[in-house]
Amino acid sequence: MSKKLLLILLIMPLVFSGCKNSHRVETAAVIENVSVERQNGQLCYTFYLLTEEETPNAVSIPADSFQEAQKLARRSYIPNLTLAKLKLLLIHKDVVSEILQTDIEYISTQASFSPVAYVALCDDNALRRVRQNTRAQTMIERQLILCKQQHPQVNIDYLSVFNSYARKNEDGFYLPYITAEGDLRVSERKIEN
Amino acid sequence: MNYSIKEIKARLQAQFSDSADLTVRELTLKSSGEVRAAVFTLEGMVDKEGLAQAALNPLLAYDFGRQTAAQAYCTIRDSVLAASDVTEISETELTAFLTSGFAVLAVDGAPELLAIGAQGYAFRGVSEPESEVVQRGAREGFTEPLRVNMSLIRRRLKSPDLVFEQMTVGKKSRTQLMLCYLQSAASPLLLQKLRDRLRACDLETVLAAGYLAEYLEDPNTSRLFSGVGISERPDTVCGKLTEGRIAVIVDGTPAVLVVPHLFVEEFQGVDDYSNRTYYATLIRLIKYLSFCVSVFLPAVYTALAQFHPEYFPTWILIKTSNSLSKTPLPVTLEVLLITFVYEIMKEAGLRIPKSLGHAVSIVGALVIGESAVTAGIISSSTLMVVATAAICSYVTSPLYPPVTMLRLVFIIIAGVLGLWGIVLASAMVMISLCAKTSLGVPYLSSLSPFSLRTMRDVFVRAGWKRLSRHTIKVQHFAETEER
Amino acid sequence: MRTEVKFSSKRFLMTLTLCACSVILLQNGSLPQRSSFLCRLAAMAAGLLGCFLIFLPSIWLRKRGGDVFSQSLPRAARYAAAAVYTACFFYTAEYFLFPYTDMFCKKYYPDTSPCVIALILLICCVYAALRGANVITRFSVFLFALAMLTNLLMFGGSLSSLRFYSSDLGIRGGFSGFSQSFLYFLTPSFTAVLFACLSGYTRNFRLRQPVIALALTGVKYALVLFFIAFAVGEYALRQEYQTFVLSRVAHFGAYAGIERFYMALSTMSVFMIVSLLLCAMCRSVDRNGSRGFTAAFTAAIFGAHMLAVYRPEVREFFTSPLLLVGLSVLTAAIIPSVMLIFTRRGHNV
């Protein structure tokens, strides 16, 4: 009797609460890459959806911060957005000083954001390349790893960017900078706190 | 009391309701007075030729002279019968002996009856068991008659330490069974528990050993996994007897029950002990892995596809997503559907005549597999996951029933609660397994309660030199628990 | 109920403490942020030594054949002891349940209600509690294996993120930081209370068992502190559940997802601890335990949990390490010490 009662008690909350968090694989929007740039004077966050095709499926959201872009994306553009698999955050060199602090503050408190994503600064050409070809993103990742091997002081993942940024007794830190003139090159850029 | 043939005959005919197979051969013995005798048999249970040679011919040829019925009875018992097995019985035992294939000789006016061992029913010969095939090792398996099975064990353990203890179960079937154990190895406590449970069995008929398995399980423990082992191989049973286990041989069943039975035994095979240790260890690890895969793989797939798609590696995620987006059913239902279809096909495959087997396999593989994927009814990734789990479940075939049940339950829970549900359900299953005992010995012994000394024959198979250093008796686990 | 007789202290201590610490580490947020790695390490050593000292009275009492619920005690004293122990177990159950459901809802499933999670978990705990303490300790062996695997993956996967900064090696934090950390590292002392209650019949409770268990716990704590300081770094200070962050940071090439192992470990640890505490509660009030008591205590735990979810002051009350340690000291050290004095006097007379 007690077993049956336990079973009923167990099943009821299961039935009523289960499936609520379900975001099925066929409808889930798993994002691996995000880029930030200024378009028509407005900050714009672009989320690249996973696809098998050559041209990436990108959703651009005008927003003032990552937090706002994420909220807008969930509400209006990509309901089942998940950033747990984020691999690359590309920031345009012109907007870095504007967004880095606020975005770092926000992302550092979010459990849903992958802390081991790569972070890189880039220029217009690199961003255009990324928008045109899905393989460009993978190539950037490879370049970043090469960059880290050659310059150990460069912070390539989000975790190290945050830790360097938060360390108050240091003058600045280094981020990789990627241009796309012909092929992808890697250089360093020092950001002051 | 002196027996009268007429009365015995009348009583037997009444008891057997004039059954056609009850035969009575009445004889008038050669003597000066009239000494009458009768041989009672059940048709088909007795070797007629053997009975004629051992009893009927000598009886009819012998001259009893002036002997009275009582004297003639003694002469028959001591000098006339050529049978090797002659037992004096009373009338109360008559039915039991007749139904066991004995011929019963009654002499009119004699004080006792004589049971003559002349069993001669047809039975299947000793052959290789189909469910426990080995690469190296004996090709002999148990067969139906109790005595043949006893001889198969005795031939391997030529020790006076080996004891066969007879019991009868089934109010109607009066099925004979033997408790078989090594006197020096088996725990008297476990033995007494087993006897008590068998005596408490109130079944009308016991037609197979499986009927008794439920009665040998410990009360108030989970019945999902079996606490009673079953084997068709005499060498396997002999190995288990040396570890202090007790075998129950049931007449008419080509498989022997062994208790106590532990979880780790499901992963041990006869071949392990013939193969090289490193290879046996690899096979053991593969078996454990297959068990986990067969239980958890479809559930984990369901949970990931339903709740946590981000945990798929990217290349799998894209393919799975594309594949699932073309199918009409949600992933949980799809996994359940394929699992059920597979179980139906398996059952059909088992029952179908062998000549039709190939045709059904082709229909199953092509129609249900290939066509359903092409038509977009099921996704290829789901089909592959369920098929992998199904194949893995056969690696430890004795665990097939609980594994199938657990797989279904886990799939449903994964579909409702995701990975967290699987974790909680696993915890519940583990608790129920930890609570399970077999004749008082914890079912998960060696693993929990943990025993480092016995680990040499759990995940790994140590060499014979190490294994033979200490023989670990099964009751050791029960004792450590009491300490 | 089969809670009696076979409580096996050896494997219980070896595993429960190790597994429990993974749960305690969920609350790493309560560690002072400004104290350095070395400062925390020193506090940890002192804390675990304190835990060991709390174990001693129960061991001595056990050696003398005494029992905190001895029948030779006056009835009023027995009732009082039962009430104190039950209160302690109740508090400990809440202390572990609340951070777990909180972490679960914040980090894994943001849209679920903590009450539903607690209810489902508690129902599973009732099933385990009805099976008895002995069965739960057998289960702990598998949990120990899972803990080993998870820790191996977590630490192994974090190796690539290790960065050594000289500032982390200094001694920072001051006395207040040290005392706060010390208090935090005293929390494993709750296991001593369980022993005082559940090992009533155990004959194999030896001094070396808590020593080995606490030493192993110390190693695990030290590893977690080390990786949090040098692999997660400042990032960890922003997050509420630092060990969870450590499990997120861990990755092997493209393969991440160690946090699911961590979730499994923490779920099973909380499940085991709460089940064991339910058993202990029933044992405190009734030697044979009963289903009615188990159901009543479960309902009470759930009720208190609901209150804690909706009332911040109740939440603060149930998540105070000071209260937990205070209750542990009272039940595992003070009451058995009084009993020791009481029995010695009895012997002398």
Q: Which of A108, A159, A166 sits opposite C249 (nearest CB)?
A: A159
Note the pLDDT of residue B256.
94
Cross-chain Cβ contact B305/A32 below 8 Å: no
Q: How much is the mean pLDDT over chain B?
A: 87
B254, B152 Cβ separation under 8 angstroms: no
Per-residue pLDDT for C346 more than 80? no
Per-residue confidence (pLDDT) for residue C3, from 0 to 100: 33
pLDDT band of C1, cuts 50, 70, 90? very low
User: Does the beta-carbon distance from B314 to A28 stay under 8 Å?
Assistant: no
State pLDDT tens for residues C34-70: 777 888 888 999 999 999 999 888 878 777 766 666 6
Q: Which letter does DSSP use for residue B218 in this model? A: P
First to last CA, chain A: 67
B417 → closest Cβ in A14, A84, A85: A14
Tens-digit pLDDT profile for residues B292-307: 999 999 999 999 988 8
Q: What pLDDT score was predicted for residue B303?
A: 92
Radius of gyration of chain C (CA): 20
Domain ranges of chain A: 26-192
* C92-116: average pLDDT: 88
Query: Does the CB of A149 have a partner CB in chain C at under 8 Å?
Result: no
**Residue C111 CB coordination number (10 Å):** 8
Residue A169 touches chain C, beta carbons under 8 Å: yes
At C4, the pLDDT band (50, 70, 90 cuts) reads very low
Q: What is the pLDDT of residues A22-80, one digit of tens each?
A: 667 777 778 888 999 998 888 999 998 887 777 888 888 999 999 899 889 888 878 77
Tokens representing residue C109 in the block: 């499933």
Mind telling me how many Å the CA of C203 is from chain A's nearest CA?
33
Could B427 and C120 be called an inter-chain contact, meaning their C-beta atoms sit closer than 8 Å? no
Which pLDDT belongs to residue C171? 64
Q: Which of A14, A21, A25 comes nearest B305 by C-beta?
A: A25
Longest CA–CA span in chain A (Å) reads 75
Is residue A60 a contact partner of residue A45, using CB atoms and an 8 Å limit?
yes
Cβ atoms of C124 and A7 closer than 8 Å: no
- Mean pLDDT, residues C292-301 taken together: 91
Q: Which fold has domain A26-192?
A: Nucleotidyltransferase; domain 5 (3.30.420)
Q: Which of the other chains make 3 or more beta carbon contacts under 8 angstroms with chain B?
A: A, C
Place C2 in a pLDDT band, splitting at 50, 70 and 90. Answer: very low
From the list B163, B148, B134, the residue with the least C-alpha distance to B275 is B134
On the question of pLDDT at C281 being above 60, the answer is yes
What separation in angstroms does the CA of B399 have from each of B208, B229, B267? 20, 11, 9
Q: How confident is the model at residue A81 (pLDDT cuts 50, 70, 90)?
A: confident
Interface test with B, best of C19, C101, C142 (most B CBs within 10 A): C142
Distances (CA, A) of C79 to C57, C82, C85, C280, C287: 21, 5, 10, 15, 12
CB count in 10 Å sphere of residue B145: 17
Which residue among A16, A109, A114 places its CB closest to the CB of C238?
A109
- For A81, the enclosing helix (H) or strand (E) is strand A81-82
The answer to whether B430 contacts chain C (CB < 8 Å) is yes
Predicted TM-score (pTM) of this structure = 0.86
For residue B119, pLDDT over 80 is answered with yes
**Closest listed residue to residue B265, CA positions, set B231, B306, B303:** B231
Rounded to whole angstroms, how far apart are CA atoms B446 and B284? 15
Q: Domain limits of chain B?
A: 5-116, 125-261+436-483, 283-402
Residue B483 has pLDDT above 90, yes or no: no
Closest chain B residue to C5, measured at CA:
B482
Is B424 in contact with C264 (Cβ distance < 8 A)? no
Closest CA to B399 of B306, B309, B268, B311: B268
- Residue B352 tokens read as 């179908």
ipTM (interface pTM): 0.90
**C9-348 is classed in which CATH architecture?**
Orthogonal Bundle (1.10)
How many contacts, defined by CB atoms under 8 Å, are there between A and C? 67
Pairwise pLDDT comparison (B360 vs C292), residue with the higher score: C292
B318 touches chain A (CB under 8 A): yes
Nearest CB among B324, B417, B421 relative to A26 is that of B324
Mutate to test the interface with C, among A106, A109, A163 (most CBs of C within 10 A): A163
Tokens, residue A12: 């009821």
Q: What is the pLDDT of residue A21?
A: 59
Interface size A-B, in CB pairs within 8 Å, comes to 58
Q: Report percent pLDDT > 70 for chain B.
A: 99
Contact predicate A44/B270, CB 8 Å: no
